[in-house]
Amino acid sequence: MCRVKEKIDEKKLRSWKLLDDFRQRLAKARATMPPPPNQRPGGPKPLLLEEDYFSLMLFGLFNPVPESMRGLCSASRLKRVEQDVCGRQVSLGSFSEAQGVFDPELLRQVFLDLSGEIHTSWGDARLAHLADKLKLVDGTLLPALPRMHWALWLNDDNRAAKLHLRFSVLRQAPSDALVTTGNSCERKALRQFVNKGETIVGDRHYGLEYGFLDELRGQGVSFVLRIRNKPRMEIVEELPLTDADRTAGVTWQGMVKLGDKWQGEAIRVVKVEVDGKELLLATDLEIEAELIALIYRYRWQIELFFKWLKSILGCRHLMAESPEGVAIEIYSALIAALMLQLLTGKRPGKRAMELIGFYLMGHADLDEVIALLGLGKSAK
Protein backbone atom coordinates (compact mmCIF):
# COMPACT_ATOMS: atom_id res chain seq x y z
CA MET A 1 0.00 0.00 0.00
CA CYS A 2 1.33 3.42 -0.92
CA ARG A 3 2.09 5.59 2.10
CA VAL A 4 0.52 9.05 1.94
CA LYS A 5 2.85 11.73 3.28
CA GLU A 6 1.39 14.06 5.89
CA LYS A 7 1.02 17.63 4.68
CA ILE A 8 3.33 20.01 6.55
CA ASP A 9 1.34 22.32 8.81
CA GLU A 10 2.68 25.85 9.17
CA LYS A 11 1.43 25.97 12.78
CA LYS A 12 3.90 23.22 13.70
CA LEU A 13 6.95 25.18 12.62
CA ARG A 14 7.95 27.67 15.31
CA SER A 15 11.64 28.35 15.88
CA TRP A 16 11.86 32.00 14.87
CA LYS A 17 13.63 33.34 18.00
CA LEU A 18 16.35 30.72 17.81
CA LEU A 19 16.87 31.51 14.15
CA ASP A 20 17.13 35.23 14.91
CA ASP A 21 19.90 34.44 17.39
CA PHE A 22 21.62 32.30 14.76
CA ARG A 23 21.42 35.02 12.10
CA GLN A 24 23.03 37.54 14.46
CA ARG A 25 25.87 35.12 15.17
CA LEU A 26 26.24 34.41 11.46
CA ALA A 27 26.47 38.13 10.65
CA LYS A 28 29.12 38.61 13.35
CA ALA A 29 31.22 35.77 11.92
CA ARG A 30 30.69 36.97 8.34
CA ALA A 31 32.12 40.42 9.24
CA THR A 32 35.52 38.77 9.81
CA MET A 33 35.57 36.84 6.52
CA PRO A 34 35.44 37.68 2.78
CA PRO A 35 31.95 37.66 1.24
CA PRO A 36 30.75 34.57 -0.67
CA PRO A 37 31.12 34.58 -4.50
CA ASN A 38 27.45 35.36 -5.19
CA GLN A 39 27.41 38.40 -2.86
CA ARG A 40 30.52 40.23 -4.09
CA PRO A 41 30.20 43.64 -5.79
CA GLY A 42 29.57 43.26 -9.51
CA GLY A 43 28.58 39.60 -9.16
CA PRO A 44 25.28 38.11 -10.34
CA LYS A 45 22.21 38.68 -8.20
CA PRO A 46 21.88 35.65 -5.88
CA LEU A 47 18.76 33.49 -5.98
CA LEU A 48 19.42 32.07 -2.51
CA LEU A 49 21.38 34.07 0.02
CA GLU A 50 23.97 32.38 2.20
CA GLU A 51 22.22 33.26 5.48
CA ASP A 52 18.88 32.01 4.10
CA TYR A 53 20.36 28.65 3.09
CA PHE A 54 22.12 28.17 6.42
CA SER A 55 18.98 29.24 8.32
CA LEU A 56 16.85 26.72 6.42
CA MET A 57 19.36 23.97 7.24
CA LEU A 58 19.32 24.88 10.94
CA PHE A 59 15.54 25.23 10.87
CA GLY A 60 15.30 21.56 9.91
CA LEU A 61 17.39 20.54 12.92
CA PHE A 62 15.36 22.56 15.41
CA ASN A 63 12.00 21.29 14.16
CA PRO A 64 10.81 17.68 14.34
CA VAL A 65 8.65 17.85 11.19
CA PRO A 66 10.96 18.17 8.12
CA GLU A 67 13.10 15.04 7.80
CA SER A 68 14.69 15.45 4.38
CA MET A 69 15.88 17.96 1.80
CA ARG A 70 12.51 17.64 0.07
CA GLY A 71 10.78 18.31 3.38
CA LEU A 72 12.76 21.50 3.91
CA CYS A 73 12.05 22.72 0.39
CA SER A 74 8.37 21.95 0.91
CA ALA A 75 8.38 23.90 4.18
CA SER A 76 9.90 26.90 2.38
CA ARG A 77 6.61 27.30 0.48
CA LEU A 78 4.81 28.17 3.71
CA LYS A 79 4.36 31.93 3.97
CA ARG A 80 5.94 32.46 7.38
CA VAL A 81 8.84 30.12 6.68
CA GLU A 82 9.51 32.02 3.46
CA GLN A 83 9.38 35.38 5.26
CA ASP A 84 11.31 34.58 8.44
CA VAL A 85 13.64 31.71 7.51
CA CYS A 86 14.77 31.55 3.91
CA GLY A 87 13.48 34.73 2.22
CA ARG A 88 12.05 32.87 -0.78
CA GLN A 89 10.66 29.52 -1.85
CA VAL A 90 13.55 27.13 -2.30
CA SER A 91 13.59 24.53 -5.04
CA LEU A 92 15.42 21.23 -4.82
CA GLY A 93 17.83 22.47 -7.47
CA SER A 94 18.67 25.68 -5.59
CA PHE A 95 19.11 23.79 -2.30
CA SER A 96 21.40 21.23 -3.92
CA GLU A 97 23.39 23.83 -5.84
CA ALA A 98 23.97 26.02 -2.75
CA GLN A 99 26.11 23.40 -1.01
CA GLY A 100 28.77 23.87 -3.68
CA VAL A 101 28.69 27.67 -3.50
CA PHE A 102 28.73 28.58 0.19
CA ASP A 103 31.73 28.08 2.45
CA PRO A 104 31.25 25.76 5.46
CA GLU A 105 34.13 27.60 7.15
CA LEU A 106 31.67 30.39 8.07
CA LEU A 107 29.53 27.91 10.00
CA ARG A 108 32.64 26.47 11.60
CA GLN A 109 33.45 29.95 12.94
CA VAL A 110 29.94 30.30 14.38
CA PHE A 111 30.37 26.87 15.97
CA LEU A 112 33.73 27.83 17.50
CA ASP A 113 32.29 31.09 18.87
CA LEU A 114 29.37 29.21 20.45
CA SER A 115 31.68 26.62 21.97
CA GLY A 116 33.61 29.37 23.73
CA GLU A 117 30.39 30.46 25.47
CA ILE A 118 29.86 27.10 27.18
CA HIS A 119 31.11 27.31 30.77
CA THR A 120 29.78 24.07 32.23
CA SER A 121 31.92 22.69 35.07
CA TRP A 122 31.98 18.88 35.04
CA GLY A 123 34.15 16.09 36.39
CA ASP A 124 36.63 15.57 39.23
CA ALA A 125 37.75 18.83 40.87
CA ARG A 126 41.36 17.61 40.85
CA LEU A 127 41.36 18.02 37.07
CA ALA A 128 39.97 21.57 37.14
CA HIS A 129 43.34 23.00 36.05
CA LEU A 130 42.89 21.10 32.76
CA ALA A 131 39.40 22.50 32.06
CA ASP A 132 40.37 24.35 28.88
CA LYS A 133 43.07 21.88 27.84
CA LEU A 134 41.63 18.37 28.20
CA LYS A 135 40.19 17.29 24.83
CA LEU A 136 38.70 13.94 23.93
CA VAL A 137 39.26 13.01 20.29
CA ASP A 138 37.42 10.44 18.21
CA GLY A 139 35.59 9.93 14.94
CA THR A 140 32.17 8.60 14.00
CA LEU A 141 30.87 7.37 10.66
CA LEU A 142 27.93 8.96 8.87
CA PRO A 143 26.43 6.58 6.27
CA ALA A 144 26.39 8.04 2.75
CA LEU A 145 24.71 7.10 -0.52
CA PRO A 146 26.60 4.79 -2.94
CA ARG A 147 26.59 7.61 -5.54
CA MET A 148 28.66 9.81 -3.18
CA HIS A 149 31.90 8.60 -4.75
CA TRP A 150 34.11 10.91 -2.70
CA ALA A 151 32.91 9.32 0.57
CA LEU A 152 35.30 6.35 0.42
CA TRP A 153 34.87 3.69 3.08
CA LEU A 154 34.58 -0.07 2.65
CA ASN A 155 33.61 -0.40 -1.02
CA ASP A 156 31.36 1.06 -3.73
CA ASP A 157 28.24 -0.18 -1.91
CA ASN A 158 29.29 1.10 1.51
CA ARG A 159 30.09 4.80 1.50
CA ALA A 160 30.47 7.03 4.55
CA ALA A 161 31.70 10.40 5.71
CA LYS A 162 33.49 10.69 9.04
CA LEU A 163 33.12 13.36 11.68
CA HIS A 164 36.35 13.89 13.63
CA LEU A 165 35.62 15.73 16.86
CA ARG A 166 37.56 17.44 19.63
CA PHE A 167 35.39 17.40 22.75
CA SER A 168 36.13 19.57 25.80
CA VAL A 169 35.07 17.01 28.38
CA LEU A 170 35.28 19.19 31.51
CA ARG A 171 33.07 21.80 29.79
CA GLN A 172 30.91 19.10 28.18
CA ALA A 173 30.99 20.75 24.76
CA PRO A 174 32.50 20.02 21.32
CA SER A 175 35.38 22.40 20.63
CA ASP A 176 36.33 21.68 17.01
CA ALA A 177 35.40 19.36 14.17
CA LEU A 178 36.61 18.10 10.82
CA VAL A 179 34.69 16.17 8.15
CA THR A 180 36.56 13.65 5.96
CA THR A 181 35.98 10.46 4.02
CA GLY A 182 35.01 7.38 6.00
CA ASN A 183 38.34 5.61 5.50
CA SER A 184 40.52 8.52 6.64
CA CYS A 185 43.19 8.02 9.30
CA GLU A 186 42.46 9.39 12.78
CA ARG A 187 46.07 10.48 13.32
CA LYS A 188 46.15 12.36 10.00
CA ALA A 189 42.91 14.16 10.88
CA LEU A 190 44.16 15.04 14.36
CA ARG A 191 47.28 16.66 12.90
CA GLN A 192 45.02 19.17 11.18
CA PHE A 193 43.28 20.52 14.27
CA VAL A 194 45.32 19.80 17.38
CA ASN A 195 46.66 22.83 19.26
CA LYS A 196 49.80 23.39 21.30
CA GLY A 197 49.16 23.22 25.04
CA GLU A 198 46.22 20.81 24.79
CA THR A 199 45.99 17.37 26.37
CA ILE A 200 44.29 14.90 24.04
CA VAL A 201 42.66 11.63 25.06
CA GLY A 202 42.09 8.93 22.46
CA ASP A 203 41.69 5.22 21.82
CA ARG A 204 44.02 2.74 20.10
CA HIS A 205 43.54 4.29 16.64
CA TYR A 206 45.61 7.24 17.83
CA GLY A 207 48.22 5.15 19.68
CA LEU A 208 49.04 2.59 17.00
CA GLU A 209 51.98 4.57 15.63
CA TYR A 210 54.55 5.12 18.38
CA GLY A 211 56.36 7.83 16.42
CA PHE A 212 53.14 9.85 16.60
CA LEU A 213 53.52 10.07 20.39
CA ASP A 214 56.96 11.62 20.06
CA GLU A 215 55.62 13.91 17.33
CA LEU A 216 52.95 15.22 19.72
CA ARG A 217 55.51 15.85 22.44
CA GLY A 218 57.59 17.82 19.97
CA GLN A 219 54.56 20.01 19.21
CA GLY A 220 53.91 20.73 22.89
CA VAL A 221 50.77 18.56 22.95
CA SER A 222 50.21 16.30 25.96
CA PHE A 223 48.25 13.08 25.68
CA VAL A 224 46.61 10.06 27.29
CA LEU A 225 46.39 7.51 24.47
CA ARG A 226 45.67 3.83 24.57
CA ILE A 227 48.26 1.61 22.87
CA ARG A 228 48.10 -2.04 21.82
CA ASN A 229 48.01 -4.57 24.65
CA LYS A 230 51.23 -6.44 23.82
CA PRO A 231 53.65 -3.79 22.59
CA ARG A 232 57.34 -4.20 22.02
CA MET A 233 58.79 -2.16 24.84
CA GLU A 234 61.93 -1.78 26.88
CA ILE A 235 61.27 -1.01 30.54
CA VAL A 236 63.59 1.77 31.67
CA GLU A 237 62.15 2.29 35.15
CA GLU A 238 59.23 0.91 37.13
CA LEU A 239 57.24 3.51 39.06
CA PRO A 240 55.58 2.91 42.44
CA LEU A 241 51.81 2.75 42.95
CA THR A 242 49.74 4.18 45.77
CA ASP A 243 46.71 2.57 47.40
CA ALA A 244 44.54 5.11 45.57
CA ASP A 245 46.12 4.01 42.28
CA ARG A 246 45.32 0.36 42.96
CA THR A 247 41.77 1.20 44.01
CA ALA A 248 41.34 2.96 40.65
CA GLY A 249 42.36 -0.26 38.86
CA VAL A 250 45.98 0.65 38.10
CA THR A 251 48.14 -2.50 38.24
CA TRP A 252 51.49 -1.18 36.96
CA GLN A 253 53.25 1.91 35.67
CA GLY A 254 56.72 2.64 34.38
CA MET A 255 58.95 4.57 31.98
CA VAL A 256 59.49 2.63 28.74
CA LYS A 257 60.77 2.83 25.18
CA LEU A 258 58.19 1.58 22.69
CA GLY A 259 58.86 -0.43 19.54
CA ASP A 260 62.15 -1.23 17.84
CA LYS A 261 62.91 2.26 16.53
CA TRP A 262 62.09 4.52 19.48
CA GLN A 263 64.33 7.57 19.27
CA GLY A 264 63.05 9.91 21.95
CA GLU A 265 63.14 9.92 25.72
CA ALA A 266 61.37 7.15 27.63
CA ILE A 267 57.62 7.57 27.93
CA ARG A 268 55.28 6.75 30.80
CA VAL A 269 52.90 3.79 30.43
CA VAL A 270 50.10 3.12 32.91
CA LYS A 271 48.44 -0.30 32.99
CA VAL A 272 44.77 -0.27 34.05
CA GLU A 273 42.39 -3.21 34.57
CA VAL A 274 38.71 -2.52 33.88
CA ASP A 275 36.11 -5.30 34.18
CA GLY A 276 38.78 -7.93 33.62
CA LYS A 277 40.15 -6.12 30.56
CA GLU A 278 43.66 -4.70 30.54
CA LEU A 279 44.37 -1.27 29.05
CA LEU A 280 47.80 0.24 28.39
CA LEU A 281 47.82 4.04 28.44
CA ALA A 282 50.75 6.08 27.15
CA THR A 283 51.04 9.57 28.60
CA ASP A 284 53.45 12.41 29.26
CA LEU A 285 51.37 13.90 32.09
CA GLU A 286 53.03 14.08 35.49
CA ILE A 287 49.98 13.44 37.65
CA GLU A 288 48.80 10.53 39.80
CA ALA A 289 48.23 7.24 37.98
CA GLU A 290 44.67 7.10 39.34
CA LEU A 291 43.93 10.38 37.54
CA ILE A 292 45.37 9.00 34.30
CA ALA A 293 42.92 6.10 34.61
CA LEU A 294 40.08 8.53 35.38
CA ILE A 295 40.90 10.73 32.37
CA TYR A 296 40.73 7.74 30.05
CA ARG A 297 37.39 6.68 31.54
CA TYR A 298 36.11 10.12 30.59
CA ARG A 299 36.72 9.17 26.96
CA TRP A 300 33.27 7.59 26.87
CA GLN A 301 31.74 11.05 27.13
CA ILE A 302 32.52 11.65 23.46
CA GLU A 303 30.77 8.39 22.57
CA LEU A 304 27.73 9.57 24.50
CA PHE A 305 27.81 12.86 22.58
CA PHE A 306 27.90 11.01 19.25
CA LYS A 307 24.93 8.91 20.36
CA TRP A 308 23.05 12.06 21.42
CA LEU A 309 23.84 13.78 18.11
CA LYS A 310 22.48 10.86 16.10
CA SER A 311 19.64 9.60 18.29
CA ILE A 312 18.30 12.68 20.09
CA LEU A 313 19.12 15.46 17.62
CA GLY A 314 18.31 13.12 14.74
CA CYS A 315 21.50 13.29 12.65
CA ARG A 316 21.31 9.68 11.48
CA HIS A 317 21.54 10.31 7.76
CA LEU A 318 22.96 12.91 5.41
CA MET A 319 20.79 15.19 3.28
CA ALA A 320 23.74 16.71 1.39
CA GLU A 321 25.89 14.76 -1.05
CA SER A 322 29.00 16.90 -1.67
CA PRO A 323 31.90 17.22 0.80
CA GLU A 324 31.05 20.91 1.32
CA GLY A 325 27.36 20.15 1.80
CA VAL A 326 28.08 17.43 4.36
CA ALA A 327 30.38 19.82 6.25
CA ILE A 328 27.61 22.46 6.25
CA GLU A 329 25.14 19.91 7.58
CA ILE A 330 27.49 18.70 10.32
CA TYR A 331 28.48 22.19 11.48
CA SER A 332 24.78 23.12 11.52
CA ALA A 333 24.09 20.13 13.77
CA LEU A 334 26.91 21.10 16.14
CA ILE A 335 25.61 24.68 16.23
CA ALA A 336 22.12 23.38 17.06
CA ALA A 337 23.59 21.22 19.84
CA LEU A 338 25.43 24.16 21.42
CA MET A 339 22.46 26.53 21.09
CA LEU A 340 20.25 24.00 22.85
CA GLN A 341 22.88 23.58 25.56
CA LEU A 342 23.02 27.35 26.07
CA LEU A 343 19.20 27.46 26.18
CA THR A 344 18.78 24.71 28.78
CA GLY A 345 22.08 24.86 30.66
CA LYS A 346 22.95 21.29 29.68
CA ARG A 347 22.72 18.90 26.75
CA PRO A 348 18.99 18.10 26.53
CA GLY A 349 17.91 14.49 26.96
CA LYS A 350 15.07 12.81 25.11
CA ARG A 351 12.32 14.13 27.41
CA ALA A 352 13.75 17.65 27.31
CA MET A 353 13.98 17.54 23.51
CA GLU A 354 10.33 16.49 23.39
CA LEU A 355 9.40 19.51 25.51
CA ILE A 356 11.44 21.81 23.27
CA GLY A 357 9.73 20.18 20.27
CA PHE A 358 6.31 20.93 21.77
CA TYR A 359 7.39 24.54 22.21
CA LEU A 360 8.67 24.81 18.65
CA MET A 361 5.43 23.30 17.34
CA GLY A 362 3.34 25.77 19.34
CA HIS A 363 1.83 23.24 21.75
CA ALA A 364 3.54 24.75 24.82
CA ASP A 365 4.57 28.26 25.74
CA LEU A 366 8.03 29.25 26.92
CA ASP A 367 7.03 29.61 30.58
CA GLU A 368 5.71 26.05 30.67
CA VAL A 369 8.87 24.65 29.07
CA ILE A 370 11.09 26.59 31.48
CA ALA A 371 9.13 25.26 34.44
CA LEU A 372 9.08 21.65 33.25
CA LEU A 373 12.80 21.73 32.46
CA GLY A 374 13.47 23.05 35.96
CA LEU A 375 15.34 26.09 34.67
CA GLY A 376 13.64 28.62 36.94
CA LYS A 377 13.10 32.31 36.32
CA SER A 378 16.77 32.93 35.66
CA ALA A 379 16.54 30.96 32.40
CA LYS A 380 14.31 33.57 30.84
Instruction: State pLDDT tens for residues 58-84.
Output: 888 877 677 778 888 888 888 878 887
* 374 falls within a domain: yes
CA distance 293 to 248: 7
| SS3 state of residue 43 | coil
* 328 falls within a domain: yes
CA distance 367 to 354: 15
* 359 falls within a domain: yes
Query: What pLDDT, on a 0 to 100 scale, did the predictor assign at position 110?
Result: 94
* 304 falls within a domain: no
Segment 130-160, tens digit of pLDDT: 988 999 999 999 888 888 888 888 888 888 9
CA distance 129 to 49: 44
Report which DSSP code applies to 378: G
* 93 falls within a domain: yes
Query: What pLDDT, on a 0 to 100 scale, did the predictor assign at position 13?
Result: 46
Query: What pLDDT, on a 0 to 100 scale, did the predictor assign at position 379?
Result: 40
* 242 falls within a domain: no
pLDDT over threshold 90, residue 9: no
* 52 falls within a domain: yes
How many domains, the chain? 1
Closest Cα partner for 203 from 221, 169, 226? 226
* 366 falls within a domain: yes
Segment 89-129, tens digit of pLDDT: 888 888 888 887 888 999 999 999 999 998 888 999 999 99
Residue 45's domain comprises: 10-110+319-379
| Full-model pTM | 0.85
H-only helix segments in 248-349: 289-297, 300-307, 323-344
Query: What pLDDT, on a 0 to 100 scale, did the predictor assign at position 5?
Result: 43
Q: Are 280 and 267 in contact (CB under 8 A)?
A: no
CA distance 197 to 342: 26
Average per-residue pLDDT for the chain: 84
Beta bridge partners of 282: 225, 269
Higher-pLDDT residue of 29 and 366 is 29
